[in-house]
Amino acid sequence: MTRFEGCGALVTGAGQGIGEATARRLAAEGAGVLVVDREAERAERVALSIRQEGGTAAAFTCEVDEREQVGAAVAEAVRVFGGLAVLVNNTYAYHQEPARFEEHEDEAWYADFEGCVHGAFRCVRAAVPHLVAAGGRGAIVNIGSVNAERHFGGHGYSAAKAALASFTRTLAVDLAPRGVRVNLVEPGTIATSTWDDRPEVLRRAATQYPLGRVGTPQDVAGAVAFLASPDAAWITGVTLPVDGGLLVSNLGLNRAMRAE
């Protein structure tokens, strides 16, 4: 497929996991992708791999908590690819919390919002003029989490992802008259390197998913590519769970009720 032929795309947190899979998927469908990551080596590795596979990609090192760096990343995408049509906000922060809520530190709470919401805000602010100039092809896809919908742990992270979902909806209405669509995907448990030292946790988690497995980064990338593409031209402001049926089920309770 070449749904993104001639389109410039910027993906944050693209040095690994969901961001990497998304950058690869967009490039495979014809986009020129700016692989943005806080770690230069990771960004360069992914961009080089995409080019070796015949795609178009460049790397850029950026901390999304720095307005100047975000602006520079957007400017680089426009310079290299001649414009920017797709923005994927994938960065996040998750800080382990103490057992008792009252022992939670301000810094951890603020850091989760910084990584999950404020960085996306900065990227959108810098990218909007270029997305508008894309002539109706402009699309923003934010990466949320099922934690925004249910209790899966992590007060700060969950609240921040819920804020990102709300931001997606208000932004979608605000930018619709200017031809830019804004949507969000909500992944469930995804098998990324975060879980490499805890394979048993993933195995147990899989038993709680109706589809019988946890997700892969490619599962999420496919949903992102759809929402960013012309196939979703009349879709904006939606939250799309990519969660193997988790949010519509309660397998643990169901099995408990059936137990003899």
pLDDT of residue 42: 98
CB 90 within 8 A of CB 14: yes
Q: Domain-by-domain residue ranges, the chain?
A: 8-192+220-243
Q: Give per-residue pLDDT as tens, 149-173.
A: 999 989 999 999 999 999 999 999 9
3-state percent helix, strand, coil for the chain, nearest multiple of 5: 50, 15, 35
For the cut 70, the answer to whether the pLDDT of residue 260 exceeds it is no
Question: 151 CB contacts (<8 Å, ≥6 apart)?
Answer: 158
* Catalytic residue ranges: 157
Q: Identify the band that residue 205 occupies on the pLDDT scale cut at 50, 70 and 90.
A: very high
Q: Give per-residue pLDDT as tens, 48-93.
A: 999 999 999 999 999 999 999 999 999 999 999 999 999 999 998 8
Q: What are phi and psi of 18, to 5 degrees?
A: -60, -40
CA 20, CA 153: separation in Å to the nearest integer?
Answer: 25
Helices (H) and strands (E) in the chain, counts: 9, 7
For the cut 80, the answer to whether the pLDDT of residue 95 exceeds it is no
Q: What is the CA radius of gyration of the chain?
A: 18
Q: Give per-residue pLDDT as tens, 111-122.
A: 999 999 999 999
Q: Give per-residue pLDDT as tens, 6-45.
A: 999 999 999 999 999 999 999 999 999 999 999 999 999 9
Asked if the 8-192+220-243 domain carries CATH number 3.40.50.720, the reply is: yes
Closest residue by Cα to residue 111 from 153, 63, 167, 166: 63
